[in-house]
Each structure stands twice: as C-alpha cells, then as structure tokens.
Structure 1
Amino acid sequence: MLDDSDPTTSSARPERKLAAILAADVAGYSGLMERDEEGTHERLRVLLRNVVRPAVETHRGRIVKTAGDGLIAEFSSAIEAVRCAVELQQAMTERNAAHPEDRRLMFRMGINLGDIMSEDDDIFGDGVNIAARLEALADAGGILISHTVYEHVDRKLPVRFDDQGERVLKHIARPIRVYRVCWEAVPAGPALQPESTQPRLQDKVSIAVLPFTNMSSDPEQGFFGDGLAEDLITDLSKVPGLLVIARNSSFAYAGRSVDIRAIARELGVRYVIEGSVRRASARVRINAQLIDATNGSHLWADRFDRDLADIFTLQDEVVAKIVSALANVLPSARPIARQRTTNLDAYDLFVRGRVLAMQSPEGNRAARPLLEKAIELDPDFAEAYAWLAMTHHFGWLYWGEAVDPHRAQARVTAERAVLLDPQNADAHWILGYVRAYDGDLAGGVAGFQVALRINPNHADVWALLTDLMVFEGRAVEGIDCALKAFRLNPYPPGWYYWVLGWAQYAADRYEDAIETLRQDAARGTGSRRLLAASLAQLGCIEEAREEARLYLAAIPNFSVDYWASGQPFRKDADLQHFIDGYVKAGLPK
C-alpha cells in the first residue's frame, strides 16, 4: 500500500489535464507606463476587475494568474476560450474609442489547446508555453490560435480563421501551425484607409520581392533587373488580399547574403520572391522562385529564356504563376491586367528615370530628360508621364525650382497620364497632389483614394496621404496613414519620418514628434524645422532655436510667411498652429 505522505506517490504529482489556455498582455505597455505610470496602472486594474474577469467567468474559465500587464486564463472548452477572447477585443475597441491613440490599452492574445500540468492553482507545460508564444506573435488588438484550437472551433463560430502557416516558436521543438482570428463585428480600428471596405493590413497574406541579381557582364543591366523586380512589386500589389512590401525595404537587401528566413522576419512577411536576370543581345533569361519563409520550402520556381521583345508578356506570365502558387492561401485572387509600354528602349529610359526621381534635387532634375525621351519613343507611355509630372511638382514644391513653369507642367502631364491609363495608381496620386496644392484639397484627397483602390499596398501613397490629412484637419488619421506606410515599407526613405512628425505635431503630440524627427534617417528632409517647432511648443526654447539655426544654415532663404502662402490648409487655425511653432522657435517671419 502506498503512503500518501510520500512525495513520490502519484497523489502528490501535478494533475494533468486537457485545457484551452488564453494568454494575453498589453501591447506597448512600457511606453504607456512611461507616459502615465499611475493612470495606466489604474486603468489596467479597473479593466481586469470590471471587464476581463467577468468575461472569463461568463465563459466558464478562470484567470490562473496576472503579472504586470499580462494574464493567463484556462478554459475547459476551446470554443468558449475563443468566444471570450473575441468578446474582450470587441469590448476593448469600444473602450479605446474614448482615449487618444497613444493612451489606448490594446491586448495581444494567443490561445492553445493542449495537455497541461496543474499544481497549487498554477498551470505549466508546453500547452501553456505555446499560448504565450502565440500571444507574443499577435498584433495589438489581435488573436492568434494554434491548429489544435482551430480543429475544435472551425465552422462553429461566426468568425473567420486566416491560415498564417507554420511558425517556429521559441523553446518549442516542433513548428506550430497558426491561425489569425478575424471577426466582422469588430471595427477595423483607427481609420487607416479612406475606404472602410478595404481589407485590414493584418488580414492579408504577406510577401516581399527581393531585387533580382544581375547575372549580365554589364553592371548597367542592373537597372533592367531592378525595373523588372519593381514592376513585379507593382503588379502583385494590386492582387486583392496580398500585402506586398515596398521596393525601398525589399531592395535594402541588394548585394547582401542574408538568410531568407531572417529577411522574412525582419520585413514581417511569410513569402519571399527572389531571382536573377541575364540580358545579352536580344535574349533575356529570368530565374525566379517563390519561398515560404516559415519552413524554407519552394512553392514555385521556374526559368524563362525569351526574346527581349517578349519581356512585357513575360512579366504578366510570372505574376500569374506566382498568384497560382499562392492559391491555397489566396483562393479567389487573380492577376490584374496592367497597361505596359511595348518599347524596350523607352522602358530602359523609364526605369533609370524612376530610380533617380525623388532621390535628391539633382536626381530629380536628372530624371526629367530620361522620362521625356521615354515619352518621345512611346507617346502613350502613361507611367512615364506620371513620373515626369512628379519631377515637375516636387521640383518647385520641395527642391527650389521655379514655380513657373513647373507647377503648370506638373498638372498637364499628370492629367495626360490619367487619361492614357485610368488604372495607373501613380498617375492618380500625383494628379491628386498637384490638385491639392492648386487649392482643390478635396479633389486631391479623392485622387489618393482612387490610387489606393487601385493599389492598396502603395506605401508612398499612404505616407503622402498623411500630408493631405493634416491639411484637411484630420491629423490623427494622418498618423494612422503614416504608420501603415511604415508597415508596408519597414526600411523607408527619410521623408517618411518627416510626414509622421508633421502629423504628430499637427495632433499636438509634440513629444512623439520630437522622438520621430530625431531619428537619424529623418535628417536632411527638412525635419529640423518641425523639430524646432515641437521643442518650442514644449517650452524648450534654447534647443528649439539651435535646431532653427541649423535649419537656416541649410535653407537660408526660408521665411514663415512665404512658406505659409503655399500651404493648402482647410482651416486657418491649423495653419496658424504651425506658424506659431516656427515663430516661437525663432525662424524668420
């Protein structure tokens, strides 16, 4: 007979049982505490008492433990665990509507069903650890579940489960298949998009196109390979349900030997396309492959040997094959037809001009004759017209060229681009930008909205829409647009920081603006002017005046009145807000 007092007997061992485990914590909790330690702590305490605990109990669960900003709860039913999680996220959305974005408490949640050990009212084991690892992967306001949960809840709840593929979780020996929970009853969060019907970013399958390796002996052919990869990004960006990382970020890996899985983690994507191009005489060879970075498997790979005259037809073929290879996660997606030039010489000039445009004042001016020559070779080349219009608009607006004739030329050229190809996103946003600065702010915003309906993955359009949102008096929406641009373009050009800081200043979030504008990448984009104004509004006059002095050293002819005369703010008070900050910082009136 066994002695019950003996710690080695079965009665003293931890109890094993099957349970659904929900792990949750508050996203960005450290930053919230830094901004308002006592207020954040109290709000979380009230939230746990009045919202979380009652919801868990209603769904026949129990909170096992809370620690700082997180909690672990167990349920006897996977269905009840998911119901509880969705209910809590819905409640959080409603409660957060009353708070500024930088004061919102947003939970990340992970749910796993597995065998766990229970002892002294605590639980532990892989079943718990997997839930915690899923929570760490989840977006703010999101829920991730394991495959074991999915098998028990699929088609039993009024929610959708998006397959995220297999993930390797820390300290978990085997890969875990993960699903994202999506519910229609929950609003899409802050107004990140002009059209509420567009899918949320986190609901999409994600992909990055790496620059094609130039296998030709001529280094100048690198422009050709980059152009093909960039066009592939544009084509895939129009496929519904697909999130495509912007060129600036995926091309950051050019010439680097980096593991595909590491690239995918850094860019936040599941799929990666890589390849090479060799152009010689009248022939071109393209190798391309689509990789699932969760496990390194090749979903599709092919080699194409064609005449250069067939290159544009080949681009459509490559896109179609990639979309077909993704059929299991994008079952309804179809490639979208795109109008292309058929003149190879015009295309070569265009891809060179596109690379130079927006780089610098010198690059912008150098791009113009290349684009003009491309149009001369193909008078119906809509995309070349669009980028030529951009060089004229940015030339007078940002880079010191004369207003006349560039302002008028920008409008005429952008209108021509839209007329030639109504499905060209660049043509619409560039014309929208021109219209906004011509005094038609509503028409400008409408142009951006059309561009984003055509290409919802266009990171630059989201970033530049921030500018127009500020002019409209919708600075908080502008911040959301900028953050979306950063998700699509994790390694952006420096001006992204400028537009984010611009919107943060307009929303009176001066501390956030200062943090943004002090990023090294923001230097050289006019950020010192906004930084000076933000510091001045916080009473840091000495620092503000030093930033203003450094700004004037680079832009000696700046005056507040001249700047203000060209700004299309809808409300005088919003314009005056910037004027006040600049004057306080010591910039010349």
Structure 2
Amino acid sequence: MRYLFEDHTLDTERRELLRGADAVSITPQAFDLLDYLIRNRERVVSKDDLISAVWNGRIVSDAALTTRVNGVRSAIGDTGEEQRLIKTLPRKGFRFVGAVQEDQSVCSAVASEIHSEQPKPALPLPDKPSIAVLPFTNLSSDPEQEYFADGMVEDIITGLSRSKSLFVIARHSTFTYKGKAVDIKQVGRDLGVRYVLEGSVRKSGNRVRITGQLIDATTGTHLWADRFDSQLEDIFDLQDQITSSVICALVPQLERAEIERAKRKPTESLQAYDYYLRALSGFYQFTREQNIEAFRLCQAANEIDPGFAAAYALGAYICLQRKTFGWTSDAAQERIEARRLVRRAIEIDKDDPTVLARAGQVMSGLLNEVEDGLALVSRAQELDANLVIAWYSSGWQNLFLDDVDAALKQFNIAVRLSPLDPLLFFAQTGLAYAHFVAGRYDDGLSWAKSAVLHRPNYLNAQFALVACYAMSGRVVEARAECARIMQAKPDMLLSTIIPKLKTRFRAAEAIERLAQAWRIAGVPE
C-alpha cells in the first residue's frame, strides 16, 4: 500500500518515505510509528496503542516517545508548534490529521504481471558454512547512536566476508530486518543461510558493550553467545574478537591465518572512524542532502587521518552516487575530485577489497574507464568472494565490454549473495540489459519488470523495460511505458542518450539495437 499526503509518499511494501522522487531518511521505529498513525487516522491513538504496536509493549518513557514523534514530524516537514499533519491531544494521544490518498497500484501493469508469476523456490543452502548478520539493537539512551551500532555490524560483516571458507550475506539484505521482530528460522529460509548472528550494542561515554549470539537457523539452536566490554579506543580489537569467535564457532578447523585475514584495522583515529561511520550511514539514506553531508564527513575523516583509504574510496563512491541519482551540480569538477580520491585510496591500500570495489565502480561508472575499473573489481573479488558490490559492478563492466555470459554469471551471484537487497534493482537492471543484448527479450522483460517494481523512479530500469517490450513485439506496452517516461523527462532525445551509451558499451550492435527499440517505443530523435 502507498499513502499519499501533501508531497510525500509512504510505501509500506518497500518501507520507504519519499518526498517527491527523493527518499527521506527515517528510522525503522519512526517509519512504523508514522505507518500506524496513518492507518489509524480516523481516531486518536493513545500512548499505550503506540507502545503496543511499535515497541511490542516494552517500557518506553514519555521522553523517548516524544522524541520519536518529533522525528516523524521532522521527516514529513511538520513541527510540534504547527502540528499541521500530526496533532497532539494532551492526555489523550496523537492523531494524523493530514489529507491522505491510498494508492494500491505501484506501476500497476508491471506489478500485476509480476504478482501473477509463480513464487520463487526456496534458496538452496551453499556448499560451505553460510551466515547472515542481522542489525544489532542499539541499547544506548541516545537514538542518534544508531549509526554506531550499524557501523559495528558493517565491520563485522566485512571481517567475516574475508574468510574464504564462509558464505556471507551482504549488509543490504540483512538490514531489511532492522527494527523488526524476526523469526530466525524464517530469516534463514528467506536468505538461504544456515546460521544467523544477532546482538546488541550499548555505547556510554568512553565504554562500549557488544553482545552477540550465533543461532543455527535450520533448528533454532543457540551455538554460541558472549558479551564483550571495552574502552572505545579499543573498538577495533573488540570487532576482531567477535569476528574470530564467530569464525571459530562455525568452522573450528580453520587455520589461524584464515582468522587473521578477517582482521583489519582501518585507522588509528577513533574520531576519523566515527566520521566515516556517519558518512556511511548518510550514504545509505539515498538523499541529496545526506549525500552532501556524507561527502563532507569523508573529507573530515581524511583531514584527521590522511592515510585512511576507506574514507577516500567512500568519498569517490559518493561522487558516483550523485551521478546515478541525478544530483550532480558540476560534473567536470566532480570527475576530477573522484579521480583524485580513487588514486589516493589505491595508493594507500591495494589489498582492501571494499576500497578496490568502490574505486573500480567509480572508474567504470563515473570516469568511463571500464577496463581499469574491472581490473580493480576483479582483484576485490579475489580478496573477498562475498563482497556483493564487487559482483554486480563486475557484471556491469563485463556487459559494457560485451562479455554477456560473464555479466550474467556476476549478476546472478550478486542476487544470491543479497537476495533482499534494497539495491537489488541495480543487478536486476543489469540482468535485463544482458538478456536484451543476448536477444532473449522475454527473459530481459522479466528482470526489467522486477527492477521497476523495486525502484519505480530508476530511469535506467524503465528504459530497459521499454526496450524489452519493443523488441519482444509488445509495442503497445512499450509506447505506454515510454509515454510515462517522457512525462517526467520531456526533454529526452535519442541524440543525447546514444552518445552516452557509446562511452560505455563496446558493442556497436548492442547500441544500435537499443536505439531501434527506443525509436519503436517513441523516443524522439
């Protein structure tokens, strides 16, 4: 269901809040609170109602509840003084008073076709120990510490991923469970893994406590649990302890070198690391404002530690995100800056797979140096076989270089490593184009529909859908989809699209066939 109010859209299926076409940063609990208020907008919702629905009956202070309500108001452009959308009724509760429209048709034609298809079979377990790390619960009194808890999980996933004896689900898929009560067995079935790691983080002053428990998702049996306390300046040692403990619990016969390979201290500066975690959190919000702030935080991290390779690579990756989502203000200057950041990151650390993968994506996607980008990403894959961004980046790069079979293999591995990824539409769109180039238009059409369903405003997926419709003989649908695109982008011309394709695709035949399909659909010259 989608709820439309003012210029906002609350999409309950994809758990997204949009302002226009831009995603709005909102915590999972705040999302659930807003969802509950809108669903029950015909009545006053009491404090007890909210606590029961959003916090599952846990004890919540009035101050914490007020903080969450104010967070929701901020996300939707309301204030406690104005109360234009959410009204507080003293001693009674809250009510959503804005005008709401309900919309059940998300790309209705595409959605209906997708939902009419047979459900996907359960994912088979890999042939080696497989694990998903769920978001850790933030037990700190400050909700702003969410970024710290999320950063801890990100680094634990990275550490586990470096063990070549494990199959590790990517962060994006596991974070779809953030803020939700979960059935561990169902998580195992959804993600196709045998083991699940869950835990909590409490940061207070200069101390941090992390608890973790490892569960066999096939049986629900607890295999290992522990609590780790440390001074904040020893946080990297703490991460190493957790990573090593999990590896030893899963695969006792692993050599010590395998465990040591999982350890990596990114920086000596705790402040630089804190800025980096904040930047990473902002990057995942996918908004123009957070993109700008994330870039500033990366710069701040590198001012403190000029040898922090991951911060340079993330800064370059943020430049690529700007291009992908149309937030670029000075394309030439941002390419110059991205090139500088990529070079600096690789000079500092040629063996960090995440650094290499991000740098490789920037080289290919922003600087149009596809071969060099593929070389960096291939090196990242050698170092970390579980790094999903390396797999879907490699898929795109092989597609540009006209190696369709390699592209299909890379995209399919990416989908398996992160089957619930909010960024899944990147790999799905790549699969659509790969099948299109191979002349399998019906297969391409299926993937394009999935991509559009996951991210309706992703223009690249919409173009793939139009092309596959046109070349599979479904001209009416192709022209209908094209007309929708042209409403949003009335200045779009083939004369501007084709030159951009030529900077990427090495196969002239693929470019010509795409142009032919878009002409059939009605894209003007």
Partner of 1:424: 352
The 1:138/1:405 distance shift into structure 2, 3 A limit, reads: closer
Letter in 1 for 2:374: V
Question: Residue 297 of structure 2 is aligned with which of 347, 370, 376?
Answer: 370
The 1:276/1:400 distance shift into structure 2, 3 A limit, reads: closer
Contact 2:394 / 2:407 at 8 angstroms: preserved in 1? yes
Contact 1:350 / 1:384 at 8 angstroms: preserved in 2? yes
Partner of 1:415: 343
The 1:574/1:562 distance shift into structure 2, 3 A limit, reads: same
| 1:283 pairs with 2:283 | no
Question: Residue 459 of structure 1 is aligned with which of 388, 398, 420?
Answer: 388
Kindly state the Cα deviation for residue 386 of structure 1 after the two structures are TM-superposed: 0.5
Question: Residue 542 of structure 1 is aligned with which of 469, 476, 480?
Answer: 476
Contact 2:123 / 2:191 at 8 angstroms: preserved in 1? no
SS state at 2:236 partner:
helix
Contact 2:122 / 2:190 at 8 angstroms: preserved in 1? no
Contact 1:205 / 1:329 at 8 angstroms: preserved in 2? no
Q: Within 5 Å, give how 1:152-301 maps onto structure 2.
A: 202-301=126-225
Question: Residue 532 of structure 1 is aligned with which of 435, 455, 466?
Answer: 466
Contact 1:387 / 1:426 at 8 angstroms: preserved in 2? no
Kindly state the Cα deviation for residue 284 of structure 1 after the two structures are TM-superposed: 0.6
Question: Residue 456 of structure 2 is aligned with which of 515, 518, 523?
Answer: 523
Partner of 1:482: 411
The 1:352/1:424 distance shift into structure 2, 3 A limit, reads: same
The 1:434/1:138 distance shift into structure 2, 3 A limit, reads: closer
Letter in 2 for 1:210: L
Q: Within 5 Å, give how 1:4-403 maps onto structure 2.
A: 202-328=126-252, 330=254, 333-336=258-261, 337-357=263-283, 359-362=285-288, 363-401=290-328, 402-403=330-331
Contact 2:357 / 2:390 at 8 angstroms: preserved in 1? yes
**2:506, 2:293 → 1: CA distance?**
34
Question: Residue 497 of structure 1 is aligned with which of 428, 432, 438?
Answer: 428
Letter in 1 for 2:457: G
SS state at 1:334 partner:
helix
SS state at 2:193 partner:
coil
Contact 2:316 / 2:338 at 8 angstroms: preserved in 1? yes
**1:568, 1:138 → 2: CA distance?**
34
SS state at 1:345 partner:
helix
**2:524, 2:123 → 1: CA distance?**
48
Letter in 1 for 2:419: P
**1:400, 1:216 → 2: CA distance?**
34
- What root-mean-square deviation, in Å, do the aligned CA atoms of Structure 1 and Structure 2 show? 2.1
Kindly state the Cα deviation for residue 299 of structure 1 after the two structures are TM-superposed: 2.3
Cα deviation, 1:480-513, whole Å, max 9, x if unaligned, reads: 2111111110112233322222222222221122
Cα deviation, 1:176-196, whole Å, max 9, x if unaligned, reads: xxxxxxxxxxxxxxxxxxxxx
Letter in 1 for 2:309: A
Letter in 2 for 1:294: T
SS state at 2:473 partner:
coil
Partner of 1:168: none
Contact 1:497 / 1:522 at 8 angstroms: preserved in 2? no
**1:548, 1:489 → 2: CA distance?**
30
Kindly state the Cα deviation for residue 359 of structure 1 after the two structures are TM-superposed: 4.5
Question: Residue 562 of structure 1 is aligned with which of 496, 499, 507?
Answer: 496
**2:381, 2:463 → 1: CA distance?**
30
The 1:361/1:586 distance shift into structure 2, 3 A limit, reads: farther
Letter in 2 for 1:324: C
Contact 2:123 / 2:190 at 8 angstroms: preserved in 1? no
Structure number with the higher strand fraction is: 1
Larger Rg computed on CA atoms: 1
Cα deviation, 1:187-214, whole Å, max 9, x if unaligned, reads: xxxxxxxxxxxxxxx3321000011100
Kindly state the Cα deviation for residue 391 of structure 1 after the two structures are TM-superposed: 1.3
Kindly state the Cα deviation for residue 286 of structure 1 after the two structures are TM-superposed: 0.7
Kindly state the Cα deviation for residue 217 of structure 1 after the two structures are TM-superposed: 0.7
Letter in 2 for 1:429: A
Partner of 1:150: none
Partner of 1:14: none
**1:417, 1:532 → 2: CA distance?**
39
Partner of 2:88: none
**1:550, 1:395 → 2: CA distance?**
24
**2:129, 2:313 → 1: CA distance?**
29
Contact 2:129 / 2:250 at 8 angstroms: preserved in 1? no
Cα deviation, 1:128-152, whole Å, max 9, x if unaligned, reads: xxxxxxxx9895xxxxxxxxxxxxx
Contact 2:378 / 2:390 at 8 angstroms: preserved in 1? no
| 1:581 pairs with 2:517 | yes
Contact 1:353 / 1:368 at 8 angstroms: preserved in 2? yes
Partner of 1:169: none
Contact 2:363 / 2:369 at 8 angstroms: preserved in 1? yes
| 1:551 pairs with 2:485 | yes
Kindly state the Cα deviation for residue 236 of structure 1 after the two structures are TM-superposed: 0.5
**1:472, 1:444 → 2: CA distance?**
11
**2:304, 2:200 → 1: CA distance?**
28
**1:254, 1:358 → 2: CA distance?**
13
**2:277, 2:489 → 1: CA distance?**
31
**2:210, 2:307 → 1: CA distance?**
27
Higher mean alpha-carbon deviation, 244-253 vs 356-365, is at 356-365
Letter in 2 for 1:578: L
**1:258, 1:424 → 2: CA distance?**
33
Number of residue pairs matched by the alignment? 393
**1:359, 1:213 → 2: CA distance?**
19
Cα deviation, 1:57-108, whole Å, max 9, x if unaligned, reads: xxxxxxxxxxxxxxxxxxxxxxxxxxxxxxxxxxxxxxxxxxxxxxxxxxxx
TM-score between both structures, scaled by the size of structure 2: 0.71
Contact 1:341 / 1:381 at 8 angstroms: preserved in 2? yes
**1:501, 1:138 → 2: CA distance?**
21
Kindly state the Cα deviation for residue 358 of structure 1 after the two structures are TM-superposed: 5.7
Contact 1:505 / 1:513 at 8 angstroms: preserved in 2? yes
**1:581, 1:351 → 2: CA distance?**
44
**1:309, 1:330 → 2: CA distance?**
29
